Amino acid sequence: QFMGGGVRATVQTKDDALALDDVAFAYLPIKRRTRTLLVTQGNNFLETLLKLDNYVELTVTNPANYRESPNVDAYIFDRFAPATAPARPALIIGAPSAPWLKPSTGEVQKPEITTWSENHPVMQFVSVHDLAIDHASRIDPGNLTVIAASKQTPLIVASEKPKWVMLTFDLQSSDFPFHVGFPVFIENVLAWFSREQLALKRSPG
């Protein structure tokens, strides 16, 4: 089974008039396991999903025992955030309070998603138009990429530097974990965080 790396394709034809276009090169990224630390008081949705993902090497801890580690590729903070941003990318769920995150300025009841960015990498093959949310935190989206939003507040936001994605609602207050797009969303987030991007390509000629 081919796991990734360089790919060379050639074509041979009779009476070839131009040999330059007979060879093409590409590079298939090597998909390695993402060392992921889930920090939660307990979340069966996330734990089960991540344990079943062959490309995730999962460790679980609770907020009281959280320590930043150089052996982690990505963090998932469930209704918790440390006082300082970790050196590695993070998915934050539930808009917890932390100095490096946007503060909540209130709560929005039953927000409806009115806009979402289908072009952002974390939203590939993910539909959220019928997502039901009981409540979400209201935050200022300044300097953030708004990936999905209601009229009252952003619901999924991203930061490039440092790199993180945040849901302003927690999974217990929505039906997101029951959507077919939820596992795809988590996989997209981890891929955007730390997996290898396309590195080499040469077209015919």
The predicted model gives 179-205 an average pLDDT of 75
**Residue 148 burial class via C-beta count within 10 angstroms: exposed 0-12, middle 13-18, buried 19 and up:** buried
Q: What does 12-29 look like in DSSP terms, one character per residue?
A: --TT-S-GGGGEEEEEE-
Does this model's pTM top 0.85? My answer is: no
Q: How far apart are CA 155 and CA 53, in angstroms?
A: 25
Mean of the per-residue pLDDT values for the chain?
A: 89
Q: Residue 21: which pLDDT band, with cuts at 50, 70 and 90?
A: confident
pLDDT tens-digit map of 69-120: 999 999 999 999 999 999 999 999 999 999 999 999 999 999 999 999 999 9
Whether residue 197 is predicted with pLDDT greater than 90 in this model: the reply is: no
Q: Which residues, 6+ apart, have CB-to-CB distance to 117 below 8 Å?
A: 123, 145, 146, 147, 148
What pLDDT does 27 receive? 52
pLDDT tens-digit map of 126-164: 999 899 999 999 999 999 999 999 999 999 999 998 999
Q: What percent of the chain has pLDDT over 70?
A: 88
What pLDDT does 31 receive? 63
Whether residue 198 is predicted with pLDDT greater than 50 in this model: the reply is: no
CB burial readout 68-99, b (16+ within 10 A) else e: eeeebbbbbbbbbbbeebbebbbbbbbbbebe
What pLDDT does 201 receive? 46
Q: What percent of the chain has pLDDT over 90?
A: 76
Task: Calculate the CA 10 to chain-centre distance.
Answer: 36
pLDDT tens-digit map of 29-75: 556 789 999 999 999 989 999 999 999 999 999 999 999 999 999 99
Helices (H), 53-99: none
Beta bridge partners of 57: 35
Question: Cα–Cα–Cα angle for 137, 36, 91, nearest 5°?
Answer: 20
